[in-house]
Amino acid sequence: MKENKEIPLAGVKEIARRADVSRATVDRVIHNRTGVSEKTRKRILAIIEELDYQPNVLARRLALASRGTVRLGVLLPSASEETEYWKAPLEGMNRAEAEIRQYGVLVSYYFFDQNLQSTFTAQVNRIINDALDGVLIAPIFEKESIQLLNHCKEKGIPCVLMNSDIPGMERLCYIGPELFDSGYLSAQLAHYCLQPGRKAVVVNIARKIKRNVAILEKVEGFQAYFREKDSEELLLSFHTTDTDYDSVASGLSALLEKEPQIGVLYVTNSRVVLVAEWLENIGRKDIILIGYDFLSGNIRFLEKGYIDFLICEKPQEQGYRGIMTLFRHLVFSVTAHEDYLTPIDIVTSANYKFYRN
């Protein structure tokens, strides 16, 4: 009934003793380095196998600590008044930074304004200029991001993408949600909640919608679900590039007047807070509201009952993993070639207290 694996925990020293060689030679074998005769290599490998040798990560890191500083750069939007969303990834990055500072890792942040492409370009140039060892990118502006990725490829600088992906580009990995599924899941929730005879609306509130991958993929996922359920006729949509309350409110009011049987609103980003405000003002708690991100404003309306579901994709973890992936790649040559698709979490007024970003 009781499992108890006693492990002798043999180290390099013991292996060296058994193989009758020096620790340096064992080290060479462990790291697949050249300069060891085939015979010795085989002998050592056999012993490693036999002892089920597990390197002591601690000691390894400590020994490596003497190496020079590794400089990482992060290109991400600054948390604006408009949305505090980007605070979360930044927190995750800071957490990672604190953890690995001791190994001589230095992280520099290059913030840009999501609404101003010029600030993005400027920071791209600074990154190129600073000749970093690794880069973590939130590729909000696709064209310029591709430029940066190409530059890094040329220089052999590893890049990790986060938040949204650029298909087909060479990079270490992508860390973030599968956006299509995020929309698809939202549609599923919408569909569950839709009372007979009522309709669902996709609401896009963003300066740029046309080439905004993050939004478009979610919309596609959402529509795909309704198509599968043969309920496409239940689907309306609403777009506005004016992201202030008044534009949103008047636009939606007009729509509601025309289509009074609206039962669900799906807002494709964190601006759901504006719609919640509008619902509160017109006193319509009965309309189901689905939106994005674990932000204080959104949580307030979740508590009040105007927002019903928030879709959250672990932004803090995204930041944390982004940094750690680069770190492990650069310092320990541990490379994650696989993308990390974050969970797509459903947060309601009944479970938000326990949610962890």
Measured distance CA(91)–CA(154) in Å, rounded:
31
With CB under 7 A as the contact rule, the residue among 46, 62, 131, 254 that binds DNA is 62
User: Got the DSSP string for 306-353?
Assistant: S--EEEE--HHHHHHHHHHHHHHHHHH-----S-EEPP-EEE-TTTGG
Contact 76, 301 (CB under 8 A): no
Q: Is 250 helix (H, G, I), strand (E, B) or coil?
A: helix
Minimum distance from residue 104 beta carbon to a copy of itself (Å): 8
215-220 — which CB contacts under 8 Å span 24+ positions? 215/268, 215/269, 217/179, 217/180, 217/182, 217/183, 218/179, 218/180, 218/182, 218/183, 218/186, 218/268, 219/183, 219/268, 220/180, 220/183
Q: Which residue stretches of 101-212 are H helix?
A: 117-130, 142-155, 179-193
**Contact call for residue 210 and DNA (CB under 7 A):** no
For residue 29, which amino acid is it? V
Minimum distance from residue 350 beta carbon to a copy of itself (Å): 4
Minimum distance from residue 36 beta carbon to a copy of itself (Å): 26
Residues numbered 5-34 forming contacts with DNA, rule: CB under 7 A: 9, 11-13, 20-25, 27-28, 30-31, 34
Measured distance CA(305)–CA(326) in Å, rounded:
41
With CB under 7 A as the contact rule, the residue among 17, 42, 52, 60 that binds DNA is 60
| Complex with a copy of itself: residue 61 or 87, whichever CB lies closer | 61
List the beta bridge partners of residue 70: 105
Binder of residue 34, out of a copy of itself, DNA, none (CB less than 5 to 8 A by kind): DNA
Binder of residue 225, out of a copy of itself, DNA, none (CB less than 5 to 8 A by kind): a copy of itself
Minimum distance from residue 47 beta carbon to DNA (Å): 13
**Contact call for residue 304 and a copy of itself (CB under 8 A):** no
Binder of residue 21, out of DNA, a copy of itself, none (CB less than 5 to 8 A by kind): DNA
**Contact call for residue 245 and a copy of itself (CB under 8 A):** no
Binder of residue 201, out of DNA, a copy of itself, none (CB less than 5 to 8 A by kind): none
CB atoms within 10 A of CB 291: 28
Measured distance CA(203)–CA(219) in Å, rounded:
9
**Contact call for residue 9 and a copy of itself (CB under 8 A):** yes
Q: DSSP letter at 286?
A: T
- The residue count for binding a copy of itself (CB under 8 A) is 54
Can you give the binding site for a copy of itself, defined by CB under 8 A?
Answer: 1-4, 6-7, 9, 54, 56-59, 61-62, 65, 78, 101-102, 106, 108-112, 123, 126, 177-178, 181, 184-185, 188-189, 192-193, 195-196, 225, 288, 308, 341-346, 348-351, 353-356
